[in-house]
Amino acid sequence: MLPPKARRALDPCQRPSKRVWCVRHGQAEHNVLMDQGRSQEGRNLPDPHLSSDGIRQARSIVEESPIFRSALCSRPNECAELVVSSPCWRALQTAREACNAARALGVKVPRILAHPDLQECGEYPCDTGQPLSVLQPEFPEVDFSLLAPCANDWFIKPGVKSGGIPLLLKRCENFTDWLASRPEARVVVVAHSTLFAFMLEVDFANCEVIEVGHLWAPRAAAPEAVEGPEPWRRRWRIEQAADRVVPFYSSKGTRITMHGSPPLSGTLKTCYEVRGERSAKATAQRAGMEFPLWMSMGVA
């Protein structure tokens, strides 16, 4: 395996064109039910709102996450210029509460733009959004212009278990291309754990923030420069995570970062600690991630 510096030297996409801060939504009502072992009830909860703890997480993220604070509270030429959110209720709530908390500190926050490609991946009620006519009155500060062409059906999609993985990967590719085309150099993205698992191959806890470099390459790049089944994945690179970071590369050349001790976070960390390595591997595979051989690897 090539060391990270050597890999970056060979990678034509090595130079970040944007700073992107990825944020998973705060704890939502269905997360609470699932944590209590009431998974079926959680899945059947329509477009759930944040729980009381989730609201607290979103409101305190500016103070508790140095990475997120750097996104919204840096000098004008260093802070985020746009917040892009999933149109699902819990993500919009998280974006709004976090921005309001920053605004209360005297920070001029960027606008929030809802993007349908960031919605969660399942087809359960908890992963299904609502028509634009329901969302707009509740979130007047959000720009829903990207939902206008599909106002009443933007949330209809096949789930992962129904063979919708190719469409999901296409969504990730489309969002990557869309972000590359945006004029903003610094963007906050608020979305969901399964979506981030497919897009970045990283597992997120609620309100976890990871800074990534969005690596843009022209579509005319040489085939050998973007080899692999999902070449768009090579246009993302982990820059900062909240805890001790263990970076490594998957067999596809994608840089993956897991953190904590063991070096896992979110659902995978809990799964490993409670059920062991085999269960964690199975969870990762179901989510479309490549589980690392981290037991034999050191910090790069």
DSSP 114-157: E-GGGS-S--SGGG----HHHHHHH-TTEE-GGGGGGTTTTT--
Q: What is the pLDDT of residue 141?
A: 96
Q: What is the pLDDT of residue 219?
A: 44
| CA–CA distance, 25 with 98 (Å, rounded to integer) | 10
Q: What is the pLDDT of residue 218?
A: 42
CB atoms < 10 A from the CB of 179, how many? 22
Please answer whether residues 253 and 7 qualify as being in contact, where contact means their C-beta atoms are separated by less than 8 angstroms: yes
* Phi/psi of residue 192, nearest 5 degrees: -125, 160
- The pLDDT profile of the chain, 300 residues, written as one tens digit per residue, is 334 443 343 344 444 578 889 999 999 999 999 889 899 999 999 999 999 999 999 999 998 888 888 888 777 778 899 999 999 999 999 999 999 999 998 888 999 999 999 999 888 999 999 999 999 999 999 999 999 999 899 998 876 666 678 888 889 889 988 998 899 999 999 999 888 888 877 778 899 888 887 665 444 343 333 344 466 666 676 666 544 333 333 334 444 444 333 344 455 555 555 555 666 666 555 554 444 433 222 222
E strands along the chain, which residues? 16-24, 82-85, 112-114, 142-143, 186-191, 209-215, 236-240, 245-249, 255-259
The position carrying tokens 């997480």 is 57
The position carrying tokens 């994945």 is 233
Q: What is the pLDDT of residue 257?
A: 42
Q: What is the pLDDT of residue 53?
A: 95
Q: What is the pLDDT of residue 13?
A: 44
| CA–CA distance, 262 with 121 (Å, rounded to integer) | 27
| CA–CA distance, 133 with 226 (Å, rounded to integer) | 41
pTM of the predicted protein model? 0.74
| CA–CA distance, 72 with 83 (Å, rounded to integer) | 10
**Domains along the chain?**
16-242 (3.40.50.1240), 248-300 (no CATH)
Between the CA of residue 226 and those of 13, 100, 114, what are the distances in Å?
9, 40, 29
Q: What is the pLDDT of residue 275?
A: 58
